[in-house]
Amino acid sequence: RLKPLNRLQVILQHLKMSKHTDSTTEVLLEKRGGAGIITLNRPKVLNALNLSMIRQIYPQIKAWEQDPETFLIIIKGTGGKAFCAGGDIRTIADAGKVGDRLTQDFFREEYTLNNAIGTCKKPYVALIDGITMGGGVGLSVHGHFRVATEKTLFAMPETAIGLFPDVGGGYFLPRLSGKIGYYLALTGFRLKGRDVQKAGIATHFVESEKLPALEEDLIALKSPSTESIADLLNSYHVKSKIDQEKEFVLDEQMEKINSLFSANNMEEIVKKLKQDGSAFAIKQLETINKMSPTSLKMALRQLREGASMSLQEVLTMEYRLSQACMRGHDFYEGVRAVLIDKDQSPRWKPAALEEVSDEFVDDCFKPLGNNDLKL
């Protein structure tokens, strides 16, 4: 028989192990003062969002929304490297290969959560410190306030893995100034630090080291309103000196971006880039040539249509597109090339823009009847 101390050690060891496999530690939900705080807690995988996290965050947001003692919601990530680097794409690809329903459930519940954030009645503050891509953008961009830092790295890189800039990308991207959103969606271009705020994705810029103080100040606000939260964020924003003088990274290219990315279809954009022939245009051509032709056509139409839709209409459209990707070839090939074999040479099918027919693209946008996303 175990000595009492040993038995206690065994029990503690067991508790410790079960804690690591217990999904509740992947996201921490706590109430401090009048603030509900969501902490994404998978630092080893850059806080990638999985279904069990979505299933914990969604009901909590809904509960806080109804709670008269909760005045604001704060979301952040642990580990210092990422807010959230995206959805747990590899698991979804594995599920799709064996026909598992995760390919439906994940996107349905993720987009439902994106909508809950976009319609949240309580002020919602996302501290997007570090890598914020794909699914991480969906957890932040639809809220009232997004605070970027010098460590923020924003991108929607989905066309490189046979997907499209989802999580409401069809809503917020075409609403950025000029054609920046189209440029970001098609090329996966990465914005860093203050540029995330200058592009209109973040609402404020605060030094990373000031975030703990900002969080304490937010929690300490007495029954805050959207206005008082905005005032507090502004007071931090104006004091942030990092890169204050630097001009927006795309400033010099804006005219080109606005004209080159305003075409009605991908072939036209490619033609304009070739005709332009500048170093910038050639670089964009090289990037676009690496992307899934199917994804490019899907994404361009997604943004063009999304520009005049409500967030709910966009998410319903994007759910249809997500299921088209799950039925197709390029998503699985993109995940293989980028995340599994890491050879970075996906073999897309079809391999050229001209081979992706309008009929095929139309098909991706068709309603799914009873399987449609209902918001």
Q: Residues 45, 94, 312, 306: what is their CA dihedral angle, to the nearest 10 degrees?
A: 90
CA 265 – CA 251 distance, rounded (Å)? 24
Beta strand 72-77 pairing with 191-192: unpaired
CA 92 – CA 78 distance, rounded (Å)? 23
Supply the residues annotated as catalytic: 87, 135, 158, 166
Point out which residues pair with 192 in neighbouring strands.
Answer: 153
* Contacting residues for 99 by C-beta, under 8 A, at least 6 apart: none
Using CA atoms, how far residue 286 sits from 82, 279, 280, 337, in Å, is 28, 11, 10, 18
DSSP states along 74-93: EEEESSSSEEE--B-HHHHH
With beta carbons less than 8 A apart as the criterion, state whether 48 and 11 touch: no
